[in-house]
Amino acid sequence: MGRIRKVVFPIAGLGTRMLPATKVLPKEMLPVVDKPVVQYAVEEAAAAGCELFVFVTGRGKALIEDHFDRAFELFETLRRKQREEDLGELERAIPAAGSLVYTRQQAPLGLGHAVWCARHIVGDEPFAVVLVDDLIHARVPCLKQLVDAHAETGANIVAVMEVPKEHTDRYGIVVPGRERGRLVEIEGFVEKPKPEEAPSRLAVVGRYVLSGRIFELLAKTKPGSGGEIQLTDAMAALLEEQPFFGLRFEGRRFDCGDRLGYLEAVIAFALERPELAAGLHAALRRFL
């Protein structure tokens, strides 16, 4: 089974749940501690072995391109001030020249349509999709866990986790089949079912390893939930043709597109930082 070389980040979404912060600032640029959410996603994909980073962007997202570029004046200033450590960190955050690709989703037609916009860049090979809003804190980066499961099974893999019954209408929900360790055979997908209609509480979170065949299926996918072209619906067609597993990944997921999820992420990631942990603990105790 081939390696996963390419990763697609659909980042055209408007981020209306985080207004007014996201009126001008792309939601992917919101900092978790001191790093934009999108940088965590790129680091995770690089740690999983990805070498080509494909961003499906939209209007107002140009700051993200700037973030992954050299900032000449800033770098020169840091060099002059001999702030080698800061400089090194900024350098390391920039993927190799030529490994970033940006294309635009010209209309908000849904996640499936956004992924389809990357078809000519990805071509006919298995690839990864990372939803940047879903920030996952894990010992082994979540996408690496999926890539390893793909290497072992040769199958399509999505990250899954149990969600409360009353939240099934926020996610793609899986019709689960046989379990094999952390892998669950998937027999069906339903996008955002009402709790009373949900086939399980097992939800898809934003990490996918998919075969290139998905692009042909996306081209035929009709608008579904919310009137949008859903990746979930194309995956439901794909599992009729190819093996498909959910991976109960190890780690904690934060929805950074949501106010509470975002705040939790900031606290969880800050508590991991030795230079911040003690001070933050004390401050939290004072508030509570």
Q: Which residues are at the interface with ligand G1P (CB under 6 A)?
A: 111, 131, 134, 171-172, 191, 203-206, 230-232
Asked whether 250 and 136 are in contact (CB, 8 A), the reply is no
In the bound complex, what is the minimum distance in angstroms from residue 191's beta carbon to ligand G1P? 6
- CB-closest chain residue to ligand G1P: 172
Reduce the DSSP state of residue 58 to 3 states and report it.
Answer: coil
Whole-Å CA distances, 151 to 47, 125, 179, 247, 266: 15, 14, 18, 13, 33
Min dist. Cβ of residue 128 to ligand G1P (A): 15
**Residue 178 token pair:** 């046989």
In the complex, what is the shortest distance from the CB of residue 273 to ligand G1P, in angstroms, rounded to a whole number?
Answer: 25
Measure Cα distances from 16 to 61, 124, 206, 257 in Å: 14, 34, 18, 8
Q: Which lies closer to ligand G1P via its Cβ, residue 231 or residue 239?
A: 231
Nearer to ligand G1P, 39 or 230 (CB): 230
When the beta carbons of 93 and 138 are compared against ligand G1P, the nearer one is 138
Least separation in angstroms between CB 230 and ligand G1P: 6
Is the link from the previous residue into 274 a cis peptide, with omega within 30 of 0? no
The closest alpha carbon to 56, from 256, 196, 229, belongs to: 229
Is the Cβ of residue 78 or residue 132 nearer to ligand G1P in the bound state? Answer: 132
SS3 183: strand
Measured from the CB of residue 252, what is the shortest distance to ligand G1P in angstroms?
14
Nearer to ligand G1P, 109 or 271 (CB): 109
